[in-house]
A and B are shown apart, each in its own frame.
Chain A
């Protein structure tokens, strides 16, 4: 199109019937077409922005929000009250690692008394307790006495609980005193800050997130590989059979695709549990002793089997759509030129299926990385993925900032893969059934 426009500009000026320059008229009409196309998309785009992008953005912003020690929303009046104002000023005035002096303790006392008054002390204690465990009740009990304390406050506070001198505690309070922080990302990567503010690894027995990210990646890769191993032969069979037969066999792939995820997960529980069908058959056939039934579910095995089954159609369908148009005469030609059937397959057929392998593999991997329901139901403890941990912090431990930090890391990974998918395969080529 742009060539045509360029061509007209070099020749003499053409005009439309009503005397306007053709170039301008064409540009206007193109702009109108662009606008028209855009208006068609706009309602949906707005809808998706409101129901999807804004909520996710808002949630991700929680990963840097650090208000537990900073401000308190009074649930009766709806007002937001700043907390620990004096202590935050002291932190601003003194660099990290400064020995807390009398002024610091006075500021702490004022903050505690204020927190007791506003009933925000529980929130403050909980926030610091995330970093230095066992300190929650120190906050509540010291705050109870704070109102009646007399100077010197350092002595008075240490009298209430000598743990207040702990430099780790002061470092934690310093970290918590900024309303925006990246510390939850550190926590999501099993890192923390020591008393001097340096980033260090957490104790080994508490490190879990990196392990979970690794496990998620490894299991997803394994599941992707398994779907490829299982999907390739049947996609090949479907692609080489005459259409009438392959359409019939296709039902075996499409029916699972259309069946509820929960139904398929239920089925695997029924099949794999220790009193289930597979173990029963094993026992009846004498392969398994009745008291040694194999534990195939509520562990990693369960997650792998169920997810491989559930994601298999997502591998078969792209493979099939790439394999179907491959001309069988290439393989025949290779054979007639003396290649063995294996060589013909490896050197001639396989390379032509690579786009399908890429498309299916990426799609399955992307979906597997974010899986939640199946691991939650059949994964036991060793088959949990990172999504389950996000749900745990969302619903059980209620450390929402940490959940948001984990979610952002997962989302970043998924979007990267999605971008890769778009570059390599193109979203337009996504096919369903």
Chain B
């Protein structure tokens, strides 16, 4: 009986123990999650005393939508891709954020001029520019390393398993670019049925050799375990595995697809005030620059650029590793959010049918 009593007390304490001074932030976990904890969460707690709880998801946009639609919101702030933010905002699932609460840049530039074009929308404040790239294990292809996106689809010259994200986005674009379509024509082509067929046909050529990943932390792990020889990945994850952990991974920016990503607040967030404070704090010039020291994603404010210096190891220059560095943009595609907001359902449906067939 006494034991029961203790357990009941423990249970009650655990169920109702959450204090008001706490916000929950959902993000993508792994190296990226860590960069946010170091650059945003810890300084925010130091400054305000509000504890920040980090929660991971494969893509925070989906649990957010599920929570809001089911009327059961537990997340205060979520880190989502640009196209998802636009879609969720249109559907009324996000709180609107008044851009006037965002402070000016550290160099005095007004906030709306300081952010990259389009980076602040009704519901989203962008924090980073990230990119989907492909990477390979240099110990596997020592003699004749791959250099272009076409090599990723070339199983003859570069034998071995491939890792791809389980979803249509970025895969279709990369497939077309590998098939010789110029980046600026990719979305025009995908608007047509023939273009979509062509992308799927290209994917079909490697389908049997693909290991599909879902969480951003998986691709570096797949490479490290030798489960794949090459994989698509978010560029920051590969950077951290290569530079941070010394893995022999090489990033190829040829044919990269880059996109904004930032913070949104789900409709009905339990701690709206604190959530707004957090978003404002995290997207200040210094914090954005600080994050870029932990992972190779470009900061969303121009004023943060000059403050980004070396990686946390104190010797690696971050600049060349950013997706937005000039030499990485030679054959690069900015992800088209309107296209994906519209076609996401259809193309993923087709993607699933293709995958299952």
Contact present for B341 and A273 (CB under 8 Å):
no
Which A residues are closer than 8 A to B by beta carbons?
75, 119-123, 125-126, 129-130, 133-137, 140, 205-208, 211-212, 215, 273-275, 291, 298, 380-382, 384, 389, 392, 394-400
Q: How far is the CA of A395 from the CA of B70 in the complex (A)?
A: 12
Given the complex, which residues of A lie within 8 Å of B225, measured CB to CB? 273, 275
Among B91, B227, B345, B346, which residue has its beta carbon within 8 angstroms of that of A275? B227
CB-CB nearest in chain A for B63: A395
Interface string of B59-82 (1 = CB under 8 A from A): 000110110110000000000000
Interface string of B309-339 (1 = CB under 8 A from A): 0000000000000000000000000000010
Q: Distance in Å from the Cβ of B219 to the closest Cβ of chain A?
A: 14
Among B90, B93, B345, which residue has its beta carbon within 8 angstroms of that of A130? B345
Contact present for B65 and A398 (CB under 8 Å):
yes
Contact present for B345 and A133 (CB under 8 Å):
yes
The answer to the question of B103 belonging to the interface, with a C-beta cut-off of 8 Å to chain A, is no
Q: How far is the CA of A2 from the CA of B227 in the complex (A)?
A: 71
Contact present for B91 and A392 (CB under 8 Å):
no
Given the complex, which residues of A lie within 8 Å of B210, measured CB to CB? 381
Q: Distance in Å from the Cβ of B72 to the closest Cβ of chain A?
A: 12
Q: A122-B91, A206-B350, A208-B352 are in contact. Are A136 and B341 (CB under 8 A)?
A: yes
Contact present for B356 and A75 (CB under 8 Å):
no
Among B212, B350, B357, which residue has its beta carbon within 8 angstroms of that of A211? B357
Q: Can you list 23 A-B contacts (CB < 8 A)?
A: A75-B92, A122-B90, A129-B346, A133-B342, A133-B345, A133-B347, A134-B346, A137-B341, A137-B342, A205-B350, A205-B354, A206-B353, A208-B349, A211-B356, A273-B225, A273-B227, A274-B161, A275-B226, A275-B227, A380-B211, A395-B62, A397-B348, A398-B69
Which B residues are closer than 8 A to A by beta carbons?
62-63, 65-66, 68-69, 87, 89-93, 159, 161, 166, 200, 210-212, 225-227, 267-268, 338, 341-343, 345-350, 352-357
Contact present for B91 and A208 (CB under 8 Å):
no
Given the complex, which residues of B lie within 8 Å of A121, measured CB to CB? 90
Q: Distance in Å from the Cβ of B332 to the closest Cβ of chain A?
A: 24
Known: A123-B91, A212-B356, A380-B211. 4 other contacts (CB 8 A): A122-B87, A134-B343, A208-B352, A398-B62
Contact present for B357 and A120 (CB under 8 Å):
no
Q: A205-B353, A208-B352, A208-B357 are in contact. Are A119 and B92 (CB under 8 A)?
A: yes
Given the complex, which residues of B lie within 8 Å of A137, measured CB to CB? 338, 341-342
Contact present for A122 and B226 (CB under 8 Å):
no
Q: Distance in Å from the Cβ of B79 to the closest Cβ of chain A?
A: 17
Contact present for A207 and B267 (CB under 8 Å):
no
Given the complex, which residues of A lie within 8 Å of B227, measured CB to CB? 273-275
Q: How far is the CA of A134 from the CA of B344 in the complex (A)?
A: 9
Q: A75-B92, A206-B349, A395-B66 are in contact. Are A133 and B267 (CB under 8 A)?
A: no
Given the complex, which residues of A lie within 8 Å of B355, measured CB to CB? 381
Q: How far is the CA of A397 from the CA of B343 in the complex (A)?
A: 12
Contact present for B345 and A129 (CB under 8 Å):
yes
Nearest 6 interchain pairs by C-beta: A133-B346, A122-B91, A122-B90, A208-B353, A119-B92, A381-B355
Given the complex, which residues of A lie within 8 Å of B353, measured CB to CB? 205-208, 211
Given the complex, which residues of A lie within 8 Å of B62, measured CB to CB? 395-396, 398
Q: Distance in Å from the Cβ of A69 to the closest Cβ of chain B?
A: 13
